Homo-oligomer: A and B are copies of this chain.
Amino acid sequence: MMKISVVQFSPLLLEYKKNLDVVSKLLARCDADIVVLPELCVSGYLISRREHMAACSERPGDGPLFQVVHDYSRASGAAVVAGFIERAGEVFYNSAMLVAPGGLIGVYRKIHLFGDEPSLFRAGDSGFNVFSIAGTRIGIMICYDWRFPEAARVLSLKGADIICHPSDLVAGAHLWKPVMQTRSFENRVFIATANRTGCDRAGDTELCFSGYSQITDISGKILGELGGKEEGICTVEIDPLRARNKAFSPRNDIFKDRKPGFYQPSR
């Protein structure tokens, strides 16, 4: 058994230092083996100008957010997944870092970019990958990846027990929550969606985020969730190894029953 937390709050747009401080304080309140923070959790989301990005970005394993998260990880023993602007030379990615007490374990670069993101970020180029921490296999997807069944599917086929899903979802909770329940159900995998709250404003544009962070079990049941506006932490206890049994009856196993030969639209 292990504990997993989703952390929900409202980052202030471009207020990197203030957001870092909030993250640090929220982490200090966590008591879990895995903690998931939202997408772009210290920069805010509605960045309209590329020149603002560098100051809110960092290279993997080398920056203020990594430092805060790693300090917490070393002190607590927890693994942390946190969304951030990844700087790679002249290019930025909408990424999530996975950090354990020993350091940076991996980075996921968001593959499906949403809305205006392509004007700021390069699309993820390193695939959906699963990382093992203390015997638990962790997959990562970010926000808009939710709409594509292939994201959770490929992570699950690669062996993920838990999919950590940092998000800044603008879709209503009534839309994304049942879909994420389906993602858990159809893959028999745990999913922890850490969604932000509040609104970002830039010029005449305002974007609001739908909160209601949730953790679902392998049957799609919501084990724990937060409200639509509150800052908070939701923690549940799970047995991640349950995700390795893809059989729901003696005769049916949702992975063994797959027929990949018929899944190519070009055939």
B178 lies within 8 A of A249 (CB): no
A115 lies within 8 A of B265 (CB): no
Q: Contacts A259-B111, A262-B127 hold; do A175 and B186 have CB atoms under 8 A apart?
A: no
Q: How many A residues face the partner with a CB closer than 8 A?
A: 40
Main secondary structure of the interface of A (DSSP, over half): loop
Cβ of A205 under 8 Å from chain B: no
107-123 of chain A: CB within 8 A of chain B: 111-116, 123
Query: Which of B127, B175, B251, B262 interacts with A115 by CB under 8 Å?
Result: B251
Cβ of A149 under 8 Å from chain B: yes
Interfacial chain B residues near A265, Cβ < 8 Å: 154, 157-158
A150's nearest neighbour on chain B, judged by CB, is B263
B175 lies within 8 A of A185 (CB): yes
Cβ of A128 under 8 Å from chain B: yes
B262 lies within 8 A of A128 (CB): yes
In the bound complex, CA of A115 to CA of B248 (Å): 11
Produce 1/0 per residue, A178-191, CB < 8 A to B.
11011001100000
B179 lies within 8 A of A263 (CB): no
Interfacial chain B residues near A251, Cβ < 8 Å: 114-116
33-71 of chain A: CB within 8 A of chain B: none
Cβ of A74 under 8 Å from chain B: no
In the bound complex, CA of A260 to CA of B111 (Å): 10
A264 lies within 8 A of B154 (CB): yes
In the bound complex, CA of A254 to CA of B147 (Å): 8
Query: Which of B186, B220, B252, B260 interacts with A149 by CB under 8 Å?
Result: B186
Cβ of A206 under 8 Å from chain B: no
Interfacial chain B residues near A149, Cβ < 8 Å: 149-150, 153, 186
Interfacial chain B residues near A175, Cβ < 8 Å: 185, 220
B112 lies within 8 A of A150 (CB): no
135-156 of chain A: CB within 8 A of chain B: 144, 147-150, 153-154
Question: A205 to nearest B CB, angstroms?
Answer: 13
Cβ of A258 under 8 Å from chain B: yes
Question: A156 to nearest B CB, angstroms?
Answer: 9
Cβ of A204 under 8 Å from chain B: no
User: Known pairs A111-B259, A148-B258, A179-B186. 4 more at Cβ < 8 A?
Assistant: A149-B186, A150-B153, A150-B260, A175-B185
